[in-house]
Chain A
Amino acid sequence: MRREIPILIAIVVGFVYVIQFFVPHAPFDKFQNWGNDWIQIIAGFAIILGVLNLLKVSLEKVYKKSKGWGYAVIIIIGFLIMTGAGLFFSGGKNYQNPGTPFYYIFFNIYFPLNATMFAILAFFVASASYRAFRARNKEATLLLLAAIFLMLGRTPLGDYLSAGLPTGWQLKNISDWIMDFPQTAGQRAIMIGIALGIISTSLRVITGLERTFVGGE
Chain B
Amino acid sequence: MGAFLTLGIISFLYKDNPWYKFCEALFVGISAGYWFCTVFWSQFVAKLWDNIYPTAGQPRQYVYLVGGILGLMMLLRLVPKIGWFSRWPLAFVVGGTAGAYLIGYALSNGMKQVKSTILPLWVSGNLNATVGNIILVVGTFCGLIYFFFSKEQKGTYGKVAKLGIFFLMITFGASFGYTVMARMSLLIGRMDFLFGTWLGLIK
CB of A131, distance to nearest CB on chain B (Å)? 13
B139 & A113 in contact (Cβ 8 Å cutoff): no
Pair A154/B181 contact, Cβ less than 8 Å: yes
A-B CB contact pairs (8 Å), 21 listed: A17-B99, A18-B103, A43-B43, A44-B43, A72-B25, A83-B36, A112-B5, A114-B27, A116-B10, A119-B186, A181-B132, A185-B135, A186-B172, A189-B167, A192-B114, A196-B110, A199-B105, A201-B98, A202-B99, A206-B102, A214-B90
Contact A188 B116 (CB under 8 A): yes
Interface of B toward A, CB cutoff 8 Å: 1-3, 5-6, 9-10, 12-13, 21-48, 51, 63-64, 66-68, 70-72, 74-75, 77-78, 84, 87-103, 105-106, 108-110, 113-114, 116-117, 131-132, 135-144, 146-147, 164-174, 176-181, 183-184, 186-187, 189-190, 193
Contact code string A49-93 (vs B, CB < 8 Å = 1, else 0): 101111110000000000010011011111111110111000011
Of all chain B residues, the one with the shortest Cβ separation from A184 is B136
B37 contact set on A, CB distance < 8 A: 82-83, 85-87, 95, 102
Chain A interface residues (CB < 8 Å from chain B): 2-3, 5-7, 9-18, 21, 34-49, 51-56, 68, 71-72, 74-83, 85-87, 92-93, 95, 102, 105-106, 108-123, 125-126, 129, 138-140, 142-151, 154-155, 178-196, 198-199, 201-203, 205-206, 213-215
Q: Which residues of A contact B90 (CB under 8 A)?
A: 6, 213-214
**For the complex, would chain B's binding face be called helix, strand, loop or mixed by DSSP majority?**
helix
Chain A residue nearest to B89 (CB atoms) is A42
> Do B88 and A143 touch (CB < 8 A)?
no
Q: How far is the CA of A53 from the CA of B140 in the complex (A)?
A: 44
| Extra pairs beyond A42-B70, A188-B140, A205-B94 (8, CB < 8 Å) | A17-B100, A34-B63, A48-B39, A116-B5, A185-B135, A189-B140, A189-B167, A194-B105
